[in-house]
A and B are shown apart, each in its own frame.
Chain A
Amino acid sequence: MTVFHFLNCAFLTFGPHVVYYSATPLSEYDTIGTSIKAAAVYLGTALVKLVCLATLLKVPENDSFDPYQELMKVFIGFIDVAGLYFALTQLTHRNISQNHKFQAVGLGWAFADSVLHRLAPLWIGARGLEFTWEYIFQGLEANANLVMTLSLAALGSLMWLRKNKPRTLVPIIYACALLLATMPSITSYLRRSLEWQTPKVVGFELFSSLVMAFISWQLFSACQRPM
């Protein structure tokens, strides 16, 4: 990988976060503090997840799909939901509306996730000469992850911060939130059990993230309407 390619991939991985912040009203309402706090909560959540993974799971001897282990991973994945709940409900905010609050939290969360999971491999790959498509796919995954996290934050905002929700939409909101929370396990299942290749998995992630974003947006708009 050349330095040029490294900069391209870093741009692809972290650029959308910056574009989202500057394009939306977040930049006008000075929500950077909230994003930083959300990132800190993400790091703490990641540490807790790491300890749980090391304690409760055993290292697989082969690369097969173990339903019990995957179920444990799903439960450990819900720690992310707990972390998001903490970030959305417990952090103190200065006169930020709910619309901007969940966006700031989701953005900080996704940015911290990309930094933690993708910056180190990108840097290590930059030091070699070998070209591989892996880092481009990693950048695309970061984009899908950003959309997923924002969708989950939106649904979380509906579940925990909005009181007057239409009664008929509550089950749909919870079902979509559950689906978004289990998305890492779904991609793991596709990759290991169905043996999908990386381009196919990344395509599925992008497509499903757009679909979930659309559904979340519709739900959020429906809840915005006065009863």
Chain B
Amino acid sequence: MSPSGELLASISSALAVAFVFLACVELGDAAAAVSVYRLIQYDLAGAPLGSRAAVLNHHAAVLPLPAGADLSRSALVAPLLDLPLSFLREYLVEKKQLGGLLILLPTNQGDKDSADDKGQVKGVLTELEKLLVHEQVPYPVYFALDDDNFGNLLADIHKIASSGQPASATTGGYKLVVSSAEPRKVSSPTISNIQGWLPGLKGEGDSEQLPTIAIVANYDTFGAAPALSLGSDSNGSGVVALLEIARLFSRLYSNPKTRGKYNILFGLTSGGPYNYNGTSKWLRGFDQRVRESIDYAICLNSVGSWSNDLWMHVSKPPENPYIKQIFEEFSDVSKEMGVSVGIKHKKINVSNPRVAWEHEQFSRFRVTALTLSEMSTPPEFLESTGGLHDTRESTDVESVIRTVRLVSESLARHIYGLRGRNIDVFAENSSLAINPRYVRSWLDLLSRTPRVAPFLQKNDPFIAALKKELSEHTSDVHVQSDALEGMFTFYDTTKATLNVYQVASVTFDLLFLLVLGSYLIVLFCFLVISTRGVDDLINIFRRPPSRKLKGA
């Protein structure tokens, strides 16, 4: 290499090092860098809903606010329990302008919080979510987990706010900055259904299709913050129960001597929050003979926090012979377990697009179906879909185990014709016992995984994990993917990094400039006097007139 080439290479490498250094310094610039989760942004039949902005660049303000405060250029920072919903409803319904909103969610404090506190948090979160999800919010709304950083930040902002005027460019304070691109539409959101079979035992002379019993659970969630929609109870508990039932029956069906004369179909469906859109597409994709062979379907929905009462929701009248038989089977097992199963009948209004329970999609295809749920009334649209309030603490492993036992025993008695006999197929301490560790580990996994369908790819590792687990217990497992119904449009940017800067005021800099100018003037005079004398200092101001006179 020539000398000039070497010089150029060294200069360019030095510049590269300098740029890398500058880039690294930029990262550690803010007083705090916090992960925040954005309120969902979506269109429903063309109507814009949720948070319609993502970029945040405002000074921070905290409650309580001074009277008549203008928040149009402030980002309000509020812990969840300090944020009155009436205040928020006022700002939303009356379309009052807010620069931004940062809601601090309480973290799990373990045993420190009492049950009353948890209930209060859950209730406030439910109301907040209901309010935010169904309104159009023109400013950015973010959620963050409350920790010590925010404690210090809130104390400092309180100190500034107590001086009487909110933070702005002239008074200094804290500035919240979220730099993110403009949210874009999620192109072709997909819903993926996973199914597996346990084929029944065919007799030698049987030429007919064996009857099928379907166990179905919906696995996706919807919430105010898609990145925080974990859905432990709705419907993580249902998914876990289905997996355990599949594991138990796979052991029975793996032995020809204990294989039943029923096929068992397991389905993990998506699109549940959106009127069970995925279930509808899954059923439509069935072969007609397969669909007609389904004796009945059991849908599991929110079975993780019941203690004594479980509800069986049906669309056919309870007097129907099929429904009556299934209900009696469940009642027999529930009596032995010491719990009660109630039946709820809700007729389907075919003209109403709202689908409240998953079994209604089966009923629309004339398949007998029911939903087991701890909820006695059907949830409203986009509610009880595994949002912010549905965390691991709200789900009980014992509750899921009770569900598994109830469904498994009822199913076994139906399949093997054991009704009336005092046989416990899945007795504790037997080889077919329910495994609490299995239930707990899967429940923990589902309670850590946000599962909002438009943000799950077709090849998402979570879907692959569900498919793999179902493959362990059933055969002919495959994933059916379809497009989400066009009525919904979703936008990305569900997570971001919030930078909190402490900024000075212009007034401070003006005062600093005055002090600095005075200092330099005093320094100048002192140096002139000490080195040249007072006469020279005076002469500095006399010399120009003499020069002017001389020039004239």
Q: Please measure, in the bound complex, the distance between the C-alpha atom of A132 and the C-alpha atom of B508, giving whole angstroms.
A: 12
Which residues of chain B are near A11, meaning CB under 8 Å? 513, 516, 520
Which residues of chain A are near B502, meaning CB under 8 Å? 130-132
Q: Please measure, in the bound complex, the distance between the C-alpha atom of A11 and the C-alpha atom of B177, giving whole angstroms.
A: 29
Given contacts A16-B520, A23-B524, A131-B502, are A8 and B509 in contact (CB under 8 A)? yes
Chain B interface residue count, CB cutoff 8 Å, equals 26
Given contacts A124-B22, A127-B26, are A8 and B503 in contact (CB under 8 A)? no
Q: Please measure, in the bound complex, the distance between the C-alpha atom of A131 and the C-alpha atom of B520, giving whole angstroms.
A: 23
Min CB distance, B316 to chain A, in Å?
64
Q: List 11 A-B contacts (CB under 8 A).
A: A1-B504, A8-B516, A15-B516, A15-B520, A19-B520, A20-B523, A23-B531, A124-B22, A127-B29, A130-B31, A131-B503
Q: Please measure, in the bound complex, the distance between the C-alpha atom of A57 and the C-alpha atom of B261, giving whole angstroms.
A: 82
Contact A23 B25 (CB under 8 A): no
Task: Report which residue of B175, B509, B516 has the largest number of chain A beta carbons within 10 angstroms of its beta carbon.
Answer: B509
Per-position binary interface string of chain A over residues 1-43, scored 1 when its CB falls under 8 Å from any chain B CB and 0 otherwise: 1101100100110011001101111000000000000000000
Contact B516 A129 (CB under 8 A): no
Q: For the complex, would chain A's binding face be called helix, strand, loop or mixed by DSSP majority?
A: helix
A67 on the interface (CB 8 Å rule)? no
Contact A5 B520 (CB under 8 A): no
Contact A4 B506 (CB under 8 A): yes
B512 on the interface (CB 8 Å rule)? yes
Contact with A124, one of B25, B523, B528 (Cβ below 8 angstroms): B25
Given contacts A19-B527, A23-B528, are A130 and B506 in contact (CB under 8 A)? no
Residues of A whose CB lies within 8 Å of any CB of B are 1-2, 4-5, 8, 11-12, 15-16, 19-20, 22-25, 124, 127-132, 136
Contact with B501, one of A8, A25, A128 (Cβ below 8 angstroms): A128
Contact A23 B506 (CB under 8 A): no
Which residues of chain A are near B509, meaning CB under 8 Å? 2, 4-5, 8
Q: Which residue of B lies closest to A28 (CB)?
A: B532
Min CB distance, B209 to chain A, in Å?
69
Contact B31 A16 (CB under 8 A): no
Min CB distance, B234 to chain A, in Å?
41
Q: Please measure, in the bound complex, the distance between the C-alpha atom of A5 and the C-alpha atom of B520, giving whole angstroms.
A: 17
Given contacts A20-B527, A129-B29, A129-B177, are A2 and B504 in contact (CB under 8 A)? yes
**Other contacts beyond A128-B29, A130-B502: 12, CB < 8 A:** A2-B506, A2-B509, A5-B504, A5-B509, A8-B513, A19-B520, A19-B524, A129-B503, A130-B29, A130-B31, A132-B502, A136-B512
Q: Please measure, in the bound complex, the distance between the C-alpha atom of A22 and the C-alpha atom of B537, giving whole angstroms.
A: 12
Q: Please measure, in the bound complex, the distance between the C-alpha atom of A22 and the C-alpha atom of B532, giving whole angstroms.
A: 12
Given contacts A8-B516, A24-B527, are A131 and B29 in contact (CB under 8 A)? no
B30 on the interface (CB 8 Å rule)? yes
Q: Which residue of B lies closest to A11 (CB)?
A: B516
Given contacts A8-B513, A128-B29, A130-B31, are A23 and B527 in contact (CB under 8 A)? yes
8 A Cβ contacts from B2-43 to A: 22, 25-26, 29-31
B48 on the interface (CB 8 Å rule)? no
Which residues of chain A are near B200, meaning CB under 8 Å? none
Per-position binary interface string of chain B over residues 159-183, scored 1 when its CB falls under 8 Å from any chain A CB and 0 otherwise: 0000000000000100101000000
Which residues of chain B are near A124, meaning CB under 8 Å? 22, 25
Which residues of chain A are near B520, meaning CB under 8 Å? 11, 15-16, 19
Residues of B whose CB lies within 8 Å of any CB of A are 22, 25-26, 29-31, 172, 175, 177, 499, 501-504, 506, 509, 512-513, 516, 520, 523-524, 527-528, 531-532
Q: Please measure, in the bound complex, the distance between the C-alpha atom of A136 and the C-alpha atom of B30, giving whole angstroms.
A: 18
Min CB distance, B430 to chain A, in Å?
59
Q: Which residue of A lies closest to B28 (CB)?
A: A128
Q: Which residue of B lies closest to A4 (CB)?
A: B509
Q: Which residue of B lies closest to A24 (CB)?
A: B531
Contact A25 B177 (CB under 8 A): no
Contact B532 A25 (CB under 8 A): yes
Closest 7 CB pairs of A and B: A23-B527, A131-B504, A128-B29, A129-B501, A24-B531, A23-B524, A4-B509
Q: Please measure, in the bound complex, the distance between the C-alpha atom of A2 and the C-alpha atom of B172, giving whole angstroms.
A: 11
Task: Report which residue of A8, A22, A25, A130 has the largest number of chain B beta carbons within 10 angstroms of its beta carbon.
Answer: A130
Contact A19 B516 (CB under 8 A): no
Min CB distance, A215 to chain B, in Å?
16
Contact B503 A130 (CB under 8 A): yes
Min CB distance, A124 to chain B, in Å?
5
Which residues of chain A are near B524, meaning CB under 8 Å? 19, 22-23
Contact B527 A8 (CB under 8 A): no
Q: Please measure, in the bound complex, the distance between the C-alpha atom of A23 and the C-alpha atom of B528, giving whole angstroms.
A: 5
Q: Please measure, in the bound complex, the distance between the C-alpha atom of A124 and the C-alpha atom of B502, giving whole angstroms.
A: 16
Contact A25 B531 (CB under 8 A): yes
Min CB distance, B70 to chain A, in Å?
22
Q: Please measure, in the bound complex, the distance between the C-alpha atom of A1 and the C-alpha atom of B29, giving whole angstroms.
A: 11
Which residues of chain A are near B175, meaning CB under 8 Å? 129
Q: Please measure, in the bound complex, the distance between the C-alpha atom of A23 and the C-alpha atom of B526, giving whole angstroms.
A: 9
Q: Please measure, in the bound complex, the distance between the C-alpha atom of A14 and the C-alpha atom of B180, giving whole angstroms.
A: 38
Q: Please measure, in the bound complex, the distance between the C-alpha atom of A124 and the C-alpha atom of B26, giving whole angstroms.
A: 8
Q: Which residue of B lies closest to A15 (CB)?
A: B520
Min CB distance, A91 to chain B, in Å?
22
Which residues of chain A are near B516, meaning CB under 8 Å? 8, 11-12, 15
Contact with A131, one of B172, B513, B528 (Cβ below 8 angstroms): B172
Which residues of chain B are near A132, meaning CB under 8 Å? 502
Q: Which residue of A lies closest to B25 (CB)?
A: A124
Task: Report which residue of A12, A22, A131, A132 has the largest number of chain B beta carbons within 10 angstroms of its beta carbon.
Answer: A131
Which residues of chain A are near B532, meaning CB under 8 Å? 24-25
Min CB distance, B21 to chain A, in Å?
9
Min CB distance, B7 to chain A, in Å?
18
Q: Which residue of A lies closest to B503 (CB)?
A: A131
Q: Please measure, in the bound complex, the distance between the C-alpha atom of A132 and the C-alpha atom of B532, giving whole angstroms.
A: 39
Which residues of chain A are near B506, meaning CB under 8 Å? 2, 4
Min CB distance, A39 to chain B, in Å?
20
Q: Which residue of B lies closest to A133 (CB)?
A: B504
Contact B501 A130 (CB under 8 A): yes
Q: Which residue of A lies closest to B501 (CB)?
A: A129
Contact B26 A128 (CB under 8 A): yes
